[in-house]
Amino acid sequence: MPSEKKSETENRVILVKRTNPRADPERSEYLFQELRELAKAAGYVPVGELTQTRFPDSRYQLGKGKIEELAELVRQKRAGKVIFYNRLSTIQLFNISEICGCQVIDKFQLILEIFAKRATTRRSKLQVELARLRYEIPRSRAIVSLVKKEERAGFMGLGDYEDAYEQDLKKRITRIEEELESAGKDDESLRAFRHRKGFSLVALAGYTNAGKSTLFNAIVNESVEAQNMLFTTLVPTTRALDLGGRKALLTDTVGFIEELPHWLVDAFKSTLDEIFLSDLILLVVDVSEKPEIILQKLSTSHDTLWDRIKGVPVITVLNKTDLLEEHELEAVMEEIGYMAPNPVFVSAKKKTGIEELKAEIIKHLPAWAFYSFSLPNSEKGMSTLSWLYDEGIVHRVEYGERISVDYEARTDIINRIKSLELNVDKQG
């Protein structure tokens, strides 16, 4: 059927990366592999690849010979799209699409496509739209200029833009920001409420596809979607975390990626705040990768985190240990140890190391205080005791003329107990 052929062509893509001739070949291949995985996550089928290793023509980000080679490859492979790893200017997008006769996008537009496909809630859809608009703002004048000349086939179906295009973008950005800000206030209220109820907030973070969702399932016995694919998690998922009496909530969040642009981080601020405003961060790493790749991914994660978490403790969860022998793990740690605070070895898939991880989590949770006191043996005292069970750990209860209690909870809960207008007597 004609429609089926068209759909098949649209899914066929050529991947392109410009590489500095002096760049490390292994690192260049790693970045190209990341582009392949991003294309797969977006539902594309890579049918050809091209690499530019010399300094390119600024009009195309490729040399003159390479751009002609790319156009021929598009025709031979019947590709419907070209995807560049490197960021392209509006003029470059236009020029390349002119020669290749198909749609051209870069890595960041590809990420936006993935996010748009994974967005299921109103908030996540607004965040994707905000990121797209912020990406487009610097390009708006060039887009309008090009479209005024004439709309060309293959150049993303731009439509009839007017001089007011940039102002329209800014108005839409303001509207979305206001709605997301309102949602963010609701989140802050929810976080404050959870803290008041004695919950510690723990967030999973790390490079995309490190196994965060699989680890989440292993820790809380859940079944959130976990695939061998980039950006599986876009909407945060929160569940209760059993820590033997300590009340905690664990949140699975969106993964990081190298060179994540500021406009994307800003657009997903309310989602990433689940990490930035938590009490403890579990930084998940795929320990089966090469040490130099692990270090690069740790560096990317640290760059995203450190300026925003304000001293929040971090546990480095070294996942996928089932893929390595013990001596291999030791060799990896010798190379990456200085970048991996509070390391814990786990295999989320095999569910090994989970209890050790929980023990490490308890060590780094916000301090709890121990307090011994007594309550009146009355209806009001019993009601208070019931509340205590909800807010912390009751280690001992003895009933007599008064109710004697040995209690442990967050310091703010202990302070509330002390301020209660009840006949509460401290025992020592």
124-153 pLDDT, tens per residue? 788 888 888 888 877 776 666 666 555 544
Q: How far apart are CA 364 and CA 370, in angstroms?
A: 17
Task: Spell out a b/e string for 281-299, using b for 16 or more CB atoms within 10 Å of the CB, else e.
Answer: bbbbbbbbbeeebbbbbbe
State how far the Cα of 181 lies from the Cα of 198, in Å rounded to an integer: 26
pTM for this entry: 0.71
What the block records as the tokens of 291 is 């040490």
With a CB cutoff of 8 Å and minimum separation 6, the contacts of 136 are 143, 169
CA distance 107 to 118: 17
pLDDT above 90 for 317: yes
What pLDDT, in 10s, does the model give residues 61-84? 888 889 999 999 999 999 999 999
Q: What is the DSSP letter of 322?
A: G
pLDDT per position as a tens digit, 5-21:
445 677 899 999 988 77
Tokens of 386: 């019931």
Pairing relation of β-strands 246-252 and 237-243?
antiparallel
Q: What is the pLDDT of residues 151-163, one digit of tens each?
A: 544 444 444 445 5
- Predicted confidence at residue 75, as pLDDT, reads 93
Mean pLDDT of the chain: 81
Q: What is the pLDDT of residues 173-225, one digit of tens each?
A: 899 888 888 876 766 676 666 666 667 889 998 887 788 888 998 998 866 55
Please tell me the predicted confidence (pLDDT) of residue 5: 45
| Share of residues in the chain with pLDDT > 90 (%) | 27
The pLDDT of residue 77 is 92
- Amino acid letter, residue 67: I
Q: What is the pLDDT, as a whole number, of residue 287?
A: 94
The sign of the torsion formed by the CA atoms of 18, 19, 21, 25 equals negative
